[in-house]
Amino acid sequence: MATEEAAKPSPLPPYPEMILAAIEGLGDKNGSNKSAISRYIEGKYGELPPAHPSLLTAHLSRMKESGELIFLKNNYFRADAPDAPPKRGRGRPPKVRDPNAPPLPPKAPSTGSPRPRGRPPKPKDPLDAAVAQATAGMPKARGRPPKKAKTEAAAAPAPAPAPAGDGSAPVKRGRGRPPKVRPAAPSETAAA
């Protein structure tokens, strides 16, 4: 019995050979997907190991990474096949130029465009420019800068707005929900 087992050679060739034979045997010009390759191998070689699906996946990905196979639109092609699609880079391909078209004239550098591109710059404040020039050599202070001092006009408190009962001027409201207005309860002295 031991001689029968030892004399029996492994009936399965290596997986890369089986995969390449399956792609050639299927002969589809659009390539062969993983399930078609698996069905071909199962039909031709019969008895396969129980881990066949994971072994097939691992060998297909290894062959794809090494460049033996090309993977395009969920199909596998042999890399050396004449009908294999050309390998493309990522992104949009460049436009195809017509070889019979006349060459484009070279663009002359424009001296001044009617309007520059982008957002226009903010107007320069002369005081900010003077401060920036004066403090150019000084190190920048750490932390948040202090609030700017209020000017004379802003420091004077604004007069409190009168209630707008007649609708002439709007009343400035505070933040948040206004307090509940309680109706005026008649007092005991007014009743007596």
Mean pLDDT in residue range 24-33: 85
| Size (the chain), residues | 192
Count of C-beta atoms within a 10 Å radius of residue 68:
17
User: Average pLDDT of the chain?
Assistant: 77
Q: What is the pLDDT of residue 59?
A: 92
Q: What is the pLDDT of residue 1?
A: 46
Q: What is the pLDDT of residue 58?
A: 93
Per-residue H/E/C for the chain: CHHHHHHCCCCCCCHHHHHHHHHHHHCCCCCECHHHHHHHHHHHHCCCCCCHHHHHHHHHHHHHHHCCEEEECCEEEECCCCCCCCCCCCCCCCCCCCCCCCCCCCCCCCCCCCCCCCCCCCCCCHHHHHHHHHCCCCCCCCCCCCCCCCCHHHHCCCCCCCCCCCCCCCCCCCCCCCCCCCCCCCCHHHHC
Mean pLDDT in residue range 14-27: 88
Give pLDDT tens digits for 64-77.
888 888 888 888 88
Of the ranges 25-29, 31-35, 101-105, 180-184, which one carries the lowest mean pLDDT score? 101-105
Asked if the model's pLDDT at residue 6 lies above 50, the reply is no
Domains of the chain with CATH codes: 15-78 (1.10.10.10)
φ, ψ at 173 (rounded to 5°): -95, 155
φ, ψ at 21 (rounded to 5°): -65, -35
Give pLDDT tens digits for 106-119.
766 566 667 778 88
